[in-house]
Structure formats: structure tokens, C-alpha cells
Homo-oligomer: A and B are copies of this chain.
Amino acid sequence: MGATVNTTGSTQIIEASPLTRAGFAEYGDVIETDGARHFAINAGRATRFDDLASVDTAEASGLPAISIFRSVPVPHPVVLSVMERHPWASQAIIPMNGAACLIVVAPAGPFDATRIRAFLAGSGQGVNYRRGVWHHPLLALHHIGDFLVVDRKGEGENCDVVDLDPTLRITVMLPDAAIG
């Protein structure tokens, strides 16, 4: 399940998989309407796809924050440089204008570069990284993209960063159809 990691000489190639709830379950929530619990609201004029993510921001009196990230697109193939985690909170990222993006994660706990996985989020798909899950900073594809972010504000240092060994050239390959 999820993407394949191959190590070829000094280059680690990761193939991006389509983003699905089952594939992403180890890392957090997929925020999308497909397959979500839903019900009619507003006298039948709207549908509520309900409670799609576990927002976890209350540690040490933290509060949820809503922000917008505007990101330039990343060139293909994507060579990874850094991974980060938020030890005190979840972080949700949802495209605002249908922008596609690449989601790159590794399990919570001690960072292990051989366990990096990549997922291709389509239009209308967001994610919510569970607290402590390693992830690459936002990787927009094709166009400048605006993303709504729900994370934590409050005291404390809520970001750990690991620089990836540049000699490894850890590289994500997109499916042909996703190369803009």
C-alpha cells in the first residue's frame, strides 16, 4: 500500500501514489467529500460532509489558527530537501483553488528516510497531518496555489526540522498524467 521506494545507487526514487484514506491512514486524514459521512442541511439546499479531520491543537493551551499558504509550484522531478514535524499539533492543508499538490510523509517517531512515502492530492483533496507525522513543506504542482491551513497558535516550539542528506538525492516521481 502506498508508494514504492527504490534505492538506485545514491538516488532514492519514490513513486507518488494517488491519495486515498486507506493509504494515508497512518499519517492522518484525507479531507474530501468522496466516501465521507454526509447529510442534508439548509432545507435540502446543501450537503454537509461532516467532521473530516481530527484537529489536535489544544496542547499547552494552544488554539486553532486558520491561515492561507501561497506557494510557488515545484519543478519535476521533485528532489526533497527537508522534512518537518509539528510535535504539539495536527496541521490541515486544503487547496483553495483546486490546485494539485504533492504530499510527502514519513511515520511519526524517529525520522527514517527509507520510510518516506509520497501521495498525489488531486483537486478537492486536502490532508490533515496527525501530530508528530513527518512531512515535506508544501509542494504545489503546476501553478501558484493558495491553500487553507488549520494548525496551532500558542506558546512553544512546534516545528522540528531534519535536513535530508543531499548526496542521497531523494526524488519523487509523479505519474505521467500529473506532469504539467
Q: Interface of A with B (CB < 8 Å)?
A: 31-33, 36, 41-43, 45-53, 55, 57-58, 63-72, 74, 81-82, 92, 94-98, 123-124, 126, 128, 137-138, 140, 146, 148-150, 153
The number of times this chain is found in the oligomer is 2
Instruction: Return A138 CB to nearest CB of chain B, in Å.
Output: 6
Query: Once bound together, how far apart are the Cα atoms of A42 and B36, in whole Å?
Result: 31
A-B contact pairs, 6 of them (CB 8 A): A33-B68, A43-B81, A45-B72, A47-B69, A49-B68, A58-B58
A34 to chain B, nearest CB (A): 10
Q: Is the CB of B128 within 8 A of A66?
A: yes
Beta-carbon contact of B48 and A67 below 8 Å:
yes
Q: How far is the CB of A52 from chain B (nearest CB, A)?
A: 5
Is there contact, CB below 8 Å, between B51 and A65? yes
